[in-house]
Amino acid sequence: MAKFSCAALIVAAPASGQGKTSITAALAYSYRKQGKRVRVFKIGPDFLDPMILEHASNHPVYQLDLWMVGEDQCRQLLVKAAANADLILIEGVMGLFDGTPSTADLAAALGIPVLAVIDASAMAQTFAALAHGLASYRDDISLAGIVANRVGSDYHHQLLIESLPQHLPCLASLSRQSSTIFPQRYLGLQQAEEITDITHRLHTLAEQLKLDSQFTLPKVTISTHIETPVPSQLAGVRIAVARDAAFAFIYQANLDLLETMGATLLYFSPLTDSELPEADSLYLPGGYPELYLQQLADNTALQSAIKQHFEASKPILAECGGMLYLTEKLTDKNGQQAPMIGLLPALAELQPRLTALALQQVELKGQTLRGHTYHHSSMQTALTPTAQATSPNRSHTTEAVYQLKRLTASYIHFYFPSNPTLVADLFLP
């Protein structure tokens, strides 16, 4: 049995859009500048928020989720982080009690106190009513305190503070910021690497954050079983991983697992590289290929290299945007169309609205693999799926998995640690 004792908080809110990412980033950056070793996690499947939080903490951000990751692995990830941390911050997902499993479910399972972020704009004493509701709705979670976000003035701040009961202190506040503090697009925040002045923005947030000087970070002790070593099933296997502005939706835990199983990861850019690294297998993760249509279409040399890899019956795993890159044609939101690689007899097109959002589980070769789907595109193909996913949260979204030769393609972003054996099989030459 392994244990950790470390200061820890879950940053949650009554709804999406309250400013959880801004507050978590501001806290991480502020404590880091004070010399504390900060590690940050994100509850639920997400790629974009973790990119911002990685810049704020200067460390990779991992996902925590009771279903996709599992409670045991969540505990193991936290134990590992605590070994080199003074503070662990965990950004919640949606509203505190939304979804199955919810942020509150994870807080209750792990015994980590919640810091509730409330957007205080356009309200005064109702701020306290919301805080009271969050604190009293379930008796198996505890609120360490409240953060008042988007405060309009000193007088506004005073109204908010005075309205709170004594057992729910306002531990921090942040003045009203520009809505573009972290620019957004249709899948969420812009990718951190696209925000050229991100360090300045983080510094500004941290400067504006007013922390209660009397606040003592709560310490939490979590125990877990000693982690079972993962067999080196990919020893000696070289995996080429697409990674650039068009293909950046990758769980850090996926990369860690591949390397733990013995694989050598070789990164390349479909936007700028004319050839593949010398590799046995290929991993095309999700991202924004539709934003770089012409650049991807013009890179015919790399397209030929990927076709040769496919024709040689070498393994390829393509997720969401990586799958769109393998279609015959891709059309963006403005109706602009460009030819893609064409390994899949399919046409894909971006849609005006979200087309899928759900946790997903799929069975391949008698084994299950978990992940999630989140996209604004649709794909038309005559291919017969090898498998059809199911959703645990009563969603009607059930994504298909397609397999041709050694190619496996789906809209699903797979979470590799949910089944290392099956993942190894997908990448083994």
For the annotated catalytic residues, the residue numbers are 320
Report d(CA 194, CA 301) in Å as an integer. 26
Phi, psi of 114 (to 5 degrees): -105, 140
CB 118 within 8 A of CB 15: no
CA distances from 159 to 23, 128, 202 (A): 21, 10, 27
In 269-398, beta strands by DSSP E: 281-284, 316-319, 329-331, 337-339, 346-350, 356-364, 367-375, 377-381, 387-388
Residue that is written with structure tokens 């729910």 in the block: 168
Cis peptide, bond prior to residue 277, ω within 30 of zero: no
Torsion of CA 235, 274, 55, 322, to 10 degrees: -70
DSSP alpha helix (H) spans, 244-284? 252-260
CA distances from 18 to 51, 93, 207, 413 (A): 19, 11, 19, 26
CB 71 within 8 A of CB 64: no
Of 180, 171, 187, nearest in space to 204 by CA? 180
Count of beta carbons in the 10 Å neighbourhood of residue 226: 9
